[in-house]
Amino acid sequence: MILYDCNHRGKFRSKSFDAIMQEAQHLVDQGAVELNLIAEDTNQWGQDRRDGKNLAHLLRELKNIEGLRWIRILYAYPSYFHDELIQEIAENPKVCKYIDMPLQHISNLTLLTMNRPPKDHTVTLLETLRDRIPDLALRTTFISGFPGEREEDHRELVDFVKTFKFQRMGAFAYSEEDGTPAAEYEEQIEYDVRQARRDELISLQQGIGEEWARGMVGKEIDVLIDGVTEDGEIFGRTQWDAPDIDNIVFMQEPEEGLGLKPLEIGQMRRCKITGRSIFDLEAVPIE
């Protein structure tokens, strides 16, 4: 966690630069090869600092930690991207070409009700990120059935998901939370409608995810070995998959006679993608 609170719920406060660097070094010393940067709005880090340090600066400094292989940005907010940060993500070899940015919706009326940036700003940003960051995977989440969401708002969201094709996407049916303004709105959507809209988005994304997995077969990529399934299969992740929420890579042991080390949890191995299992990949190490 690199931020405390956020400006949408209360005044945010950046965790100190020194504290982050010390924690990062400690984690790597303990064997970590991947660091996940997490906050309510992660890319807002540093905006309250007087020394001019921002997330781009933090990423540059984290790059210098020996033994660290991947840095992942989770929970970014559309309003807090700037040229320096985009360039750092694109050029820093340790920053995963993966951005998690929960958008919640794309219809302007729903976004206005949610107090979020308008559609034009978001679409322009997404296109800029894809244009400037090679091999970028974008992850987002959407909320279905937010109070006041009309059928045409939902259809606009469906069309957007079809055309933009996020590499990773989740969708959730809106649920009232006590103490939030939205829970008091009069135009609450029927529970069954919320679920049906969510299910439509999930079904659509399944096809997009399968298409992405098919396109990965035959490629050579780095895979971080994560663990072993209950069935005894070794699995890992690509740079385009956050732990516990995204897809995995099922690993085969190296062929005998090639002089390659056996697989071990925590290794980063160069692999060839040999197949897929719906969204998940299958791979064999080549180095």
pLDDT per position as a tens digit, 4-43: 444 444 466 788 889 999 999 999 999 999 999 988 788 7
Residue-wise pLDDT tens digits, 200-246: 999 999 999 999 999 999 999 999 999 999 999 999 999 999 999 99
Residue 110 has pLDDT above 60, yes or no: yes
Residue 284 has pLDDT above 90, yes or no: yes
CA distance 193 to 191: 5
Phi-psi region of 202 (alpha: psi -120 to 50; beta: other; left: phi over 0): alpha
Q: For the whole prediction, is pTM greater than 0.85?
A: yes
Tell me which H or E stretch contains 137: strand 137-144
Alpha-helical (H) ranges within 32-150 are 55-62, 83-91, 108-114, 119-132
